[in-house]
Structure 1
Amino acid sequence: MTTTGVFRYDTKYAAPTREQRERYMKGDYEEHFFGPDNQIMVIIYDEAVYLKDDIDGTRVLFTGHKDKEKVMDEVRRRIDEHANKEDGSRSFVSGREIQES
């Protein structure tokens, strides 16, 4: 029986644990890239899906069949979130930046 769950890590250095790698992240896998400059990577294993977001350094491990299906929703959400951050940051510039452009 496979334990299901979604494990979120705030930094690339915090994830996943050795036990999780040995349990879920083994065997054949597929890699898929998304987002600007392919900075969001999804690695699909038999037992899990691992999402690496190099834009903000977060990682998410989806285990079990039902949770594995959630990964594409998470990818879309992250792409939208990062795009909105970029758009929002452009609207706040200093007077110096305006004078230089």
Structure 2
Amino acid sequence: MKASGKRSISIARMMLLVAAVAVVAASPRFLSAAYKFLSDSTVYAPGYTETGFESIRLGMRRAEVLSRLGPPLKTRPKAGSVVLSYSETHVDGFRVLGLDPAYQTYHHDRG
């Protein structure tokens, strides 16, 4: 009988674990995060690396940025400066550098 008692406790614990996982998996926050993770189709510039992007420091010149990351996916003007976009995505997460009129890095963002 003792073995049967231990087995029923194990089954009860397993059922509790399955129920807990089901509750977490059904939560809107979990489902949203899972959807973003599974459907992420981020496109990065050919020379982009996370290490290279993290090495960019404020005040760096455009030539130095380009030597570390290569050309961006997009370049666009913004209020007298230039924005270099190194990623493109429909979900959260982007890699953008802002360069002032002297082409020095003034903004470094990884959303």
Report the TM-score when normalising by structure 2: 0.33
Q: Which has the higher contact order (CA 8 A, sep 6+)?
A: 1
Structure 1 or 2, whichever has the larger Rg, is 2
- Hey, which of these two has a bigger chunk of helix by percent? 2
Q: Tell me the TM-score normalized by structure 1.
A: 0.35
Task: Report which of the two has the higher share of strand.
Answer: 1
